[in-house]
Amino acid sequence: MTAFDASSLVGGLEVTLDVDVLVGAYPDRDGPPGTPRAVLDTLAAHRIRAGAVASLRAALFDMRSGNDEVLALATSDGTGTASGRDPAVVPVGTVDLRDPIGAVREIDRLAELGVQAVRLFPDEQGVEAGFPSVRHVARKAAGLGLVVLTGGDVRRFWQPFSGLDATVVFLDTHFYHLGDFLVVAADEPGFHTSTRLLNSPDALETVPADRLLYGSRTPHYEPVVPLLRLATSGLKPDEIAAVAGGNARRLLG
């Protein structure tokens, strides 16, 4: 029996920027090693032209060295600055919420290098939304005009970003929590969500198209699943283009 090729249903859909891409491995989980070349090859195989790439090494072991690896991956000239970028990689800085003082210092360094976004891994770092470190980092990022890409349950993690005029993409918004996202986003124009866990047939149509960004979490999740949902959604072509990278380009530059 021939294996079912789900990618054929995607048709001509292209994603110009995937907002949720990782390099590196989780030491406590089975899964792909996430070597940079393999990750970029996976994106290209699914017609995903670029990824906003963050480092698991920076999240789990050492902020600076992990972030430097992503910067080197993103630059064609090997300088580690955000100029001369490889068009397939938008570098995203990662900070450790367990070290709020070090985290804001790292944010300053990343901003000086031209990085436009920082990523938070509260679940992996054992940090809760009410911890002072989260609000401290949120204020810093918002003050510098950086986009925050954050994991965690949106029902809790919206709180440290409220009232800051922050631009935040909630990467783990589940369909069952979508109503809570919509309620808080109504008062926070900078709040956006990833498509990754919006797995109901009508979930994508429920979110305003300008607040929705395609995210796959390649290579730790299968990118064709959110691609299929987007390609078969009831969104208009211009809305699909916005979700498939236009909104991410607008936010990340």
Query: What's 15-252's CATH class?
Result: alpha beta
Residue 86: how many CA atoms within 13 Å on its side-chain side? Answer: 22
Task: Name the residue among 165, 156, 172 with its Cα closest to residue 220.
Answer: 172
| Sheet arrangement for strand 51-55 | 18-23, 51-55, 89-91
**pLDDT at res. 4:** 42
**pLDDT at res. 2:** 40
Q: Are strands 89-91 and 51-55 parallel, antiparallel or unpaired?
A: parallel
Which residues are bridge partners to 51 per DSSP? 18, 89
**pLDDT at res. 79:** 46
CA 242 to CA 218: how far, in whole Å? 20
**pLDDT at res. 8:** 63
pTM of the model: 0.93
**Residue 223 near residue 46 (C-beta atoms within 8 A):** yes
**pLDDT means per 10 residues in the chain (253 residues)?**
52 93 88 86 96 97 97 70 74 98 98 97 97 98 98 98 98 97 98 95 93 97 92 95 98 91
**pLDDT at res. 61:** 95
Q: Coil, strand, or helix at residue 144?
A: coil
Domain boundaries, the chain: 15-252
In whole angstroms, what separates CA 149 from the centre of its chain?
A: 5
Alpha-carbon distance values, 70 to 56, 85, 94 (Å): 10, 11, 10
